[in-house]
Amino acid sequence: MNPNARNAYLASSVTTASPARLLVMLCERLVLDIERGLQAQQAADFAGAHTQLIHAQDILTELTTSLRPDVWEGAASLTALYDHMSRQLVHANIHRDASATEHCLGLARQLCNTWREAALAAVAS
């Protein structure tokens, strides 16, 4: 696919997505970044791992700031989870700790699956 066409398609998919779909897209990218960070750590490409893990932390920051504790009582629990993951990714990055990255990857996959199921349930109802 032509890179310009691909970028236009991606931009369009983001601007036309529902809030639930945007959340799922962010979570999918979070998983991808952590996977890439882990692969880079395992290959001793620590600069590449750093880039991926920093982007994953940026996504967690975005997810945290989008929570509305005044509207949803579950926001505090999610904030704690996002904070835990972010701290673990910082640790993984600084200490080149692939096991901490793997831990976050497992959490991110579960989180992504949960949000995906919730989005599908919302569409079905």
What is the pLDDT, as a whole number, of residue 8?
Answer: 52
* CATH code for the domain of 40: 1.20.120.340
Task: Tell me the residue length of the chain.
Answer: 125
Q: Does 100 fall in a domain? A: yes
Work out how many domains the chain is built from and give that number: 1
* Residue 101 belongs to domain spanning: 18-124
Non-local CB neighbours of 62 within 8 Å, separated by 6+ positions:
26
Q: Does 3 fall in a domain? A: no
Q: What is the pLDDT of residues 22-49, one digit of tens each?
A: 999 999 999 999 999 999 999 999 999 9
Q: Does 76 fall in a domain? A: yes
Q: Does 95 fall in a domain? A: yes
Q: Does 105 fall in a domain? A: yes
Three-class DSSP category at 72:
coil
Over 80: is that where the pLDDT of 10 sits? no
Q: Does 79 fall in a domain? A: yes
